[in-house]
Amino acid sequence: MKTPSIWHKLLGLLPEGLQSEETLLLLSPSQHLPLLSHRRAQMLLTRVRLFAALFAVLTPLWIIVDMLTLPRELWQPLALLRLAATLAFYLLLKWRADDKQLTAAYQAIGWLFAIPTAFYIGSHWLLQHVQLAGLSAAIGAGYAFLPFVLLAGLAVFPLTVLESLLFSIPTLLGFALSNLLDLTLINWPSLSGELWLLSLLAGVASLAGASQLAFIIVLVRQAIRDPLTGVFSRRSGEEVLALLQANRSRQPLSLAFFDIDHFKAINDAHGHQAGDRVLRHFTDNLARQLRRSDVLVRWGGEEFLLLLPDTTLSQACQLIERLRRHGLGERPDGGALTASIGLAEWHSDNCQDWQQLVNLADLRMYRAKQTGRDQMICQDIAQV
């Protein structure tokens, strides 16, 4: 499906592979897949640390410019503000270096914008109480551009429209607050114009960030999906399992291992194209009946994993039975497509890692094949 033309008008050139339903992912992160969130978090944190490193170097260097152009009663307190900001940027550079979660990325971006916003408020308060002229006035006026630089910098982050607007609000409020510190000095027409320009800049930055996100969505989908069936590839399935393992508390996690029965006979008798159609129909049948949180993975050939977060073993057994009753698909000769299925659950089977969970489900699947196929084995009890 092609992207609606309205999005091309709003965001400019979007990747041709962006599907119409994916445009909603550009508005809010609430429907993002865990893999997309994880990879985006890594990118956001990398860019935050790049900016923090840049600011940690450039912020103290400007003290020399202030010292050469501003009066001592002004450049000395500004130097203290700069040193404090430099320390904050350095701490941000080292803060939670091993955390790759999206919440950590949000916090890092928040601090990245909070530090210069606080510096701007402090410097604005100092500058508005000192009369400057000539070169000193030009240097002092340069401080007023900091909020504009911050909001322009927001455009380099692949954020949803909602995220961009939320991150821009503190900068807008900081700008307004700094000008309200002394009501007698406010030039209301000028302040209104600057706020309008900042708001416009925030809107443009949010669209630029959403445009970046659109390309990431397409690239991630192409990287994590099996090209034949459209479900998750084995590599991305392993990544999802690792993420689920890292976030596992006491919530259940069930896993079903499917092996389509006598699939080689389909390829031998009807050709590989017929086999490919069977695989696509099989995954389509399952996908239509799964929850959004469930993850279907092509593990290899005719083998598939079904990850069922927040699902106990008994609930998973009931779900698989319902899938089998509904039908897994049809063979080229018109017969019903069947599968041998093994089930395992993280806590009830005392698994220590995701590899053990997969191996246990795989073992039960082979037992289902060896004892007659077209059945499910769950806790070593055959369910025919």
pLDDT in tens, 146-200: 899 999 999 999 999 999 999 999 888 888 887 776 656 667 677 788 889 999 9
* 253-263 CB burial, b ≥16 within 10 A, e <16: bbbbbbbbbeb
Q: What angle in degrees, to the nearest 10, is found between the helix axes of 188-224 and 146-153?
A: 20
* C-alpha–C-alpha distance, residues 282 and 289, integer Å: 12
Residues in Cβ contact with 98 at an 8 Å cutoff, skipping those fewer than 6 apart? none
- Rounded to whole angstroms, how far apart are CA atoms 210 and 88? 28
DSSP structural state of residue 330: B
Rounded distance, CA 212 to CA 326, Å?
41
The first and second tokens of residue 57, run together, are 């170097």
Distance of CA 185 to the CA centre of its chain: 44
Higher pLDDT, 357 or 13: 357
The HSE-up count of residue 359 (CA atoms within 13 Å, CB side) is 7
Under 8 Å between Cβ of 380 and 366 = no
Helix count (H) and strand count (E) of the chain? 13, 6
The count of other CB atoms within 10 Å of the CB of residue 296 is 21
pLDDT at residue number 177? 82
Q: Where are the beta strands (DSSP E) in the chain?
A: 253-260, 295-300, 303-309, 339-345, 375-378, 381-383
Alpha carbon 353 to its chain centroid, in Å, reads 24
Nearest 10 degrees: CA dihedral of 264, 268, 274, 276?
Answer: 40
Please tell me the distance from the alpha carbon of residue 123 to that of residue 133, in angstroms, as a whole number. 17
295 strand-pairing partners: 307
Question: Tokens standing for 193?
Answer: 């114009």
**Residue holding tokens 């551009």?**
145
Q: At 152, which amino acid appears?
A: A
pLDDT in tens, 106-153: 999 999 999 999 999 999 888 887 888 888 888 888 888 889 999 999
The pLDDT confidence band at residue 294, using thresholds 50, 70 and 90, is very high
Q: Determine which of 91-105, 182-196, 300-314 has the lowest per-residue pLDDT on average.
A: 182-196
Average pLDDT, the chain: 88
Q: What confidence tens digit (pLDDT) does each residue in 267-286 have?
A: 999 999 999 999 999 999 99
**pTM score:** 0.79
* AA identity, residue 26: L
How much of the chain, in percent, has pLDDT values that exceed 70?
Answer: 92
HEC assignment per residue over 149-207? HHHHHHHHCCCCHHHHHHHHHHHHHHHHHHHHCCHHHCCHHHHHHHHHHHHHHHHHHHH
CA distance 184 to 182: 6
Please report where in the chains the tokens 């008798």 appear, as a residue: 269
Is 210 within 8 Å of 15 (Cβ atoms)? no
